[in-house]
Amino acid sequence: MEREQYLDALAVESAAFDAAVSTTPLDARVPPCPAWTVADLVYHLGEVHYFWGEVARQQLAAPEVEPPARPPDGELVPWASRQAAELRRILGDADPSTSVWTWAPQKDIAFIVRRMALETAVHRWDADAAGGEPRPIDAELASDGIDEFLTFFVDDGPREGERMGGSVHLHATDTPGEWLVREEPDGALTVTAEHAKGDAAVRGPASDLLLALWRRVGLDRLEVLGDRDIAERLVARTTVE
């Protein structure tokens, strides 16, 4: 996807997030994140938008951003909406090649643009889930999110007793996107974007694939072929808290 598409997705998903949290009680629970209320979710996303906006605006070389004070509940949704709008303005004005701190090997504003579009889309789904039946994430954006997830959120370090035990092929059925995750002899995981046979195959809409990787939905939402245990261990090996 291109930069403008990410910025557009950030705007669309932020507006949809606002709509969802504005019509759901702030003390309602968020089923995908059971420790959170809707108020917690709103503050979290607002804080994330503020943090990355400051990293980009100040072109920081280290994550030296003080977290904003949490507003009272009555001011929370408008405050978070302002953080989203300001983040989009900052990212829209910035040169995507500008070097900044990130937690990833890619250290530029382009990383932030992509990360914030996808972060917002997943949390919009969370907000929808708190209010009722969540709408799927746009297929093209979700496919890009799977690629981002497998690049940056797969734990590729060998961990004794937590081997995946094979390979998994992921296949989006509603938009282009196929990946093979292999376990190397030393236990590390490698990812290639290709059509290939794995010990397990997981197929379904890109939104459901992405949400399964983020542990928002279970693999029962998808078609799983071959060794299901290997597919389950792949999800367990990711770095989602």
Q: What is the CATH number of the domain that holds 115?
A: 1.20.120.450
- Amino acid symbol at 238: T
92 and 13 inside one domain: yes
96 lies in some domain: yes
169 and 115 inside one domain: no
The answer to whether the CB of 10 falls within 8 A of the CB of 85 is no
122 lies in some domain: yes
61 and 118 inside one domain: yes
8 and 122 inside one domain: yes
pLDDT for res 159: 56
> pTM of the predicted model, to two decimals?
0.95
70 lies in some domain: yes
177 and 225 inside one domain: yes
pLDDT for res 161: 54
- Numbers of helices and strands, H then E, in the chain: 7, 7
12 and 98 inside one domain: yes
The answer to whether the CB of 161 falls within 8 A of the CB of 230 is no
Q: Where are the beta strands (DSSP E) in 67-151?
A: none
pLDDT for res 186: 84
pLDDT for res 156: 63
User: Would you call 70 exposed, middle or buried from its count of C-beta atoms within 10 A (0-12, 13-18, 19+)?
Assistant: middle
129 and 208 inside one domain: no
The answer to whether the CB of 239 falls within 8 A of the CB of 155 is yes
Residues 6+ apart with CB under 8 A from 209: 142, 146, 170, 172, 177, 202, 222
Residues in the chain predicted with pLDDT less than 70, given as ranges, are 156-161, 241
Q: How many CA atoms lie within 13 A of 87 on its CB side?
A: 32
Is the Cα torsion angle 37, 38, 43, 48 positive or negative in sign?
positive
Domain encompassing residue 114? 3-135
Q: Which is nearest to 141 in space by CA: 202, 36, 211?
A: 211
Which residue, 106, 135, 164, sits at the end of a domain? 135
176 and 121 inside one domain: no
86 and 185 inside one domain: no
Number of residues written out for the chain: 241
pLDDT for res 175: 97
209 lies in some domain: yes
Q: Which is nearest to 153 in space by CA: 205, 201, 215, 206?
A: 215
pLDDT for res 77: 98
162 lies in some domain: yes
Give the number of domains in the chain.
Answer: 2
13 and 121 inside one domain: yes
86 and 165 inside one domain: no
23 and 83 inside one domain: yes
